[in-house]
A and B are shown apart, each in its own frame.
Chain A
Amino acid sequence: MSSETTTKIPEAATVPPPGAATPKRRVPQGHQRLLTRRDRLTLGLMAGLPTILHIALVWVTALASIALAFTTWDGIGFDSIQWVGLQNFKELFEQNPQFWPAVQHNVIWFAVLIVIPTPLGLFLAVQLDKKIRFSRVYQTAFFLPVVMSMAVIGFVWQLIYNPDTGLINSLIGANEPGKYIDWIGDPDLNLWAILIAASWRHAGYMMILYLAGLKGVDPSLREASALDGASEWQTFKNVIFPTLRPTNTVVLVVTIIEALRAFDLVYVFNGGAEGTELLSILVTSNIIGESSRIGYGSAIAVVLLLISLVVIVPYLVATFRKERRA
């Protein structure tokens, strides 16, 4: 760092103040130019290449998959692509026995995340914000699942849920005939079992977001409300929580995204068997494989995209409007 500052200071000092040019230096025409032509070329390339890559890898592929949603294609040679119009969507809505459960499960996923781990994360954040003893330790413990990959979390929770040898069934003796509890295979249980694992991770994530938000609350607000004789709960409800509004927006958006992209945990857990179907898993199981149904899988992906847009567009509109006002 020190070498950086020393090299910078003399240079910065030699930059002439506007209007007072030293005779030795070339005076830039119009506004001051920081970069030479070669620099601009370099920068143009550096910015241009990523832009081209972005357009090719993000936009072209996204638009191509929207186009493919109206075709059937097995992925072998481009001449086997056939237009079928809305056939894929018709089949999806009317005949696929997994589609509507998948939509429903994505919604349940969101509802559970917002109702259970989010308030829990807020609660933990408020407690940790009080600077209790060992708060760093607790913070690390709760945040640990967020650092781990979802796939690893899936493996860890399998050890707990495995119906034959797992922790729960072994402890309560539910791995015997007659008293058998099939956490992974029973469609009335498996979604909830897996949501506990997802919530375990999500609570830590929310805790960190809220903790950051709480750090930004002006301490004088707390002092003022304490002077006014407000109880702790009253302070939180009437003073602290309202100031967390921007954090709440972020939390909402993050949770929606988590619910829509839910995939890895379930994929490891039981591959999206009955009871845990998700849109992302349907997309994968139709597209990846030796003879894939790329058109059909793309149609599911388009549905997922539309749902995401319904959520994201209002958020972006609101954000931009706010920025323009500011």
Chain B
Amino acid sequence: MHPSSLGQPMPGTSRRTVLRGLGGAAVLGAGIPLLSACAGSSASSDPKTVTVGSNASDAVPKKGYGDVYAAFTKQSGITVDINTKDHNTFQEQINTYLQGTPDDVFQWFAGYRMQFFAAKGLASPIDDVWKTIGGNFPSAMHDLSKGQDGKYYLVPLTTSPWAVFYRKSVFQKYGYEVPTTWDAYVALCKQMKKDGLVPIAYGDKDAWPAMGSFDQINFRLNGYEFHVELMAGKASWTDAKVRKVFDTWAESLPYHQEGAVGRTWQDAAQTLVAKKSGMYMLGMFVAQQFSNKADLDDLDFFAFPEIDPAYGQDTVEAPTDGIMLSKKPKNHAGSVKLLEFLGTAQAEEIYLKADPSLIAASSKADTSGYSTLQKKGYDMITQAKHLTQFMDRDSRPDFTSTVMQPALQKFIRDPKGIDSLLSSIERQKKTIFASD
């Protein structure tokens, strides 16, 4: 090594050393075009191939959809090229994904979330597909699959209801009855507290479960139409009707599990598994936490109790997942064939064989293989007068994630000061909804 000091030109430095030092940088530079080359999708205009953008990254749904697409290939001879992305990443990138070179069809959610991208011209209408598959679906699913322009944009695949879950053995042991009215519900909570149980398990660390609580009370108290208006930004959050939702909610909050903002829904569900809590209002996916077969068989649910007899229990929150056609599919004819296949009862049956925690969106699907829980959920959905999606699927996601999530967390931790909270929500809502 020759001695050197920074900043002083060294007569010993040859051009070779200079170039060698920079050689490393050149290698790095050469890596960049390689990286960008990876981003290019393996899209082909092969008429025998349809590409699918999938968010089914978890093992169970991934296998389920894989089976469905394999069955389609077998039947039609068209290869399905599945491009699976991590569930949350898919959601976060959907915006840029659809504007870039998306796959021919992509998996997505029903409700405002679907309508938003349809209205932005990032999806193609599929009225021709619905001419074939329309008969397979109940009318509520027809409504869920339409954009704001009245055209169809989605083929619904699976759904599952939100309800109040409980353990049959716990209700038997203490002699509890399923409450059908709000007063009976609150009375049951009181009794459970006396019996040393946490009446309602609760966890809102991920900030979305509280949206479900709000939705249930809102459409029991104010009806489906008001829910739609409120979510669309038309009704005001300072309306007395909304205030009443929070007042009713506050009445039941003392019976909810303490410290909800620091707990995930999985941890809250574990208290139901352990019989430490009496009830849990959540989606049917709560069953995923019941890994023991005997515990799962013990799990049951009832519809969220009636608050205003004018609306009874006519609305069920049932988030629905489906599949959409991108704006410029490379293989339009093949995509249509795939969508038509996915709209059949057969496709849904294949999927549900792999994933028994959900329910088919089609009313033609064979329900004989369903578990008791699935059957009950199926009945609840088919008998519902209205199906809602969920606050973050029925409203603008930018509004629900940046305004409603922190606001609801604030409320359940400290239910005082509702009025200032509501006026703050309303002010922020106005600017967000005005930005279009």
B95 touches A50 (CB 8 A): no
Question: Chain A's nearest CB lies how many Å from the CB of B206?
Answer: 8
What would 14 more interface pairs be, CB under 8 Å, given A77-B99, A273-B205, A291-B398?
A12-B12, A34-B14, A74-B436, A76-B122, A164-B267, A180-B259, A184-B262, A185-B413, A186-B413, A270-B205, A273-B406, A290-B397, A291-B95, A291-B116
Q: Point out the residues of chain B lying under 8 angstroms from A162, CB to CB.
A: 262, 267
Which A residues have a C-beta under 8 Å from some C-beta of B?
1, 5, 8, 11-12, 15, 34-36, 39, 42-43, 46, 49-50, 53, 72, 74-77, 82, 87, 91, 95-98, 162-165, 177, 180-187, 190, 270-271, 273-274, 285-286, 288-293
Give the contacting residue for B120; candidates A36, A76, A95, A177; CB below 8 A.
Answer: A76
The yes or no answer to B172 lying at the interface (CB within 8 A) is: no
Known contacts A74-B435, A183-B262, A273-B261; is-contact A50 B29 (Cβ 8 Å) = yes
Q: Point out the residues of chain B lying under 8 angstroms from A286, CB to CB.
A: 398, 402
Known contacts A50-B25, A186-B262; is-contact A5 B435 (Cβ 8 Å) = no
Most buried by A among B13, B95, B206: B95
Give the contacting residue for A285; candidates B11, B17, B402; CB below 8 A.
Answer: B402
Give the contacting residue for A96; candidates B91, B267, B428; CB below 8 A.
Answer: B428
Q: Point out the residues of chain B lying under 8 angstroms from A75, CB to CB.
A: 95-96
Complex interface residues of chain B between 354 and 412 (CB less than 8 A to chain A): 396-398, 401-402, 406-407, 409-410
Q: Point out the residues of chain A lying under 8 angstroms from B95, CB to CB.
A: 74-76, 289-292
Contact with A along B72-105 (1 / 0, CB 8 A): 0000000000000000000110111001000000
A293 touches B435 (CB 8 A): yes
Complex interface residues of chain B between 222 and 269 (CB less than 8 A to chain A): 258-263, 267
Question: Chain B's nearest CB lies how many Å from the CB of A50?
Answer: 7
B19 touches A273 (CB 8 A): no
A186 touches B96 (CB 8 A): no
Question: Chain B's nearest CB lies how many Å from the CB of A267?
Answer: 13
Known contacts A76-B99, A292-B95; is-contact A185 B11 (Cβ 8 Å) = no
The yes or no answer to B59 lying at the interface (CB within 8 A) is: no
Question: Chain A's nearest CB lies how many Å from the CB of B264?
Answer: 9
Bound CA span A11–B407, Å: 72
Residue of B nearest to A183 (CB): B262
Give the contacting residue for B413; candidates A15, A49, A187, A290; CB below 8 A.
Answer: A187
Question: Chain B's nearest CB lies how many Å from the CB of A265?
Answer: 16
SS class, residues of chain B in contact with chain A: helix
Complex interface residues of chain B between 143 and 158 (CB less than 8 A to chain A): none
Give the contacting residue for A42; candidates B19, B32, B92, B206; CB below 8 A.
Answer: B19
B428 touches A95 (CB 8 A): yes
Residue of A nearest to B196 (CB): A177
The yes or no answer to B431 lying at the interface (CB within 8 A) is: yes
B18 touches A35 (CB 8 A): yes
Between-chain CB contacts (< 8 Å), 8 pairs = A8-B17, A15-B11, A34-B15, A46-B29, A49-B29, A185-B260, A186-B262, A289-B95
Known contacts A182-B259, A182-B262, A270-B262; is-contact A53 B431 (Cβ 8 Å) = no
Q: Point out the residues of chain B lying under 8 angstroms from A182, CB to CB.
A: 258-259, 261-262
Q: Interface size (B, Cβ < 8 Å)?
A: 54
Q: Point out the residues of chain B lying under 8 angstroms from A8, CB to CB.
A: 2, 12, 14, 17
A290 touches B15 (CB 8 A): no
Give the contacting residue for A91; candidates B91, B396, B431; CB below 8 A.
Answer: B431
Bound CA span A292–B207, Å: 18
Contact with A along B2-15 (1 / 0, CB 8 A): 10000000011111
A285 touches B401 (CB 8 A): yes
Bound CA span A285–B403, Å: 10
Question: Chain B's nearest CB lies how many Å from the CB of A225?
Answer: 31
Give the contacting residue for A177; candidates B2, B13, B198, B267; CB below 8 A.
Answer: B198
The 5 closest A-B pairs by CB, nearest first: A185-B261, A185-B262, A184-B262, A182-B259, A182-B262
Question: Chain B's nearest CB lies how many Å from the CB of A118?
Answer: 29
Question: Chain A's nearest CB lies how many Å from the CB of B159?
Answer: 20
A46 touches B99 (CB 8 A): no
Question: Chain B's nearest CB lies how many Å from the CB of A155?
Answer: 13
Q: Point out the residues of chain A lying under 8 angstroms from B436, CB to CB.
A: 74
Question: Chain B's nearest CB lies how many Å from the CB of A4?
Answer: 8
Q: Point out the residues of chain B lying under 8 angstroms from A34, CB to CB.
A: 13-15, 18
Residue of A nearest to B96 (CB): A75
Residue of A nearest to B90 (CB): A290
Known contacts A97-B406, A97-B424, A186-B262; is-contact A39 B413 (Cβ 8 Å) = no
The yes or no answer to B1 lying at the interface (CB within 8 A) is: yes
Contact with A along B417-434 (1 / 0, CB 8 A): 000000010011001100
Bound CA span A76–B16, Å: 50
The yes or no answer to B187 lying at the interface (CB within 8 A) is: no
B91 touches A290 (CB 8 A): yes
Bound CA span A34–B14, Å: 7
Q: Point out the residues of chain B lying under 8 angstroms from A271, CB to CB.
A: 205-207
Residue of B nearest to A98 (CB): B406
A1 touches B1 (CB 8 A): yes
Bound CA span A187–B258, Å: 14
Q: Point out the residues of chain B lying under 8 angstroms from A36, CB to CB.
A: 15
Complex interface residues of chain B between 1 and 57 (CB less than 8 A to chain A): 1-2, 11-19, 22, 25-26, 29, 32
Q: Point out the residues of chain B lying under 8 angstroms from A35, CB to CB.
A: 15, 18
Give the contacting residue for A184; candidates B122, B198, B261; CB below 8 A.
Answer: B261
Question: Chain B's nearest CB lies how many Å from the CB of A282?
Answer: 8
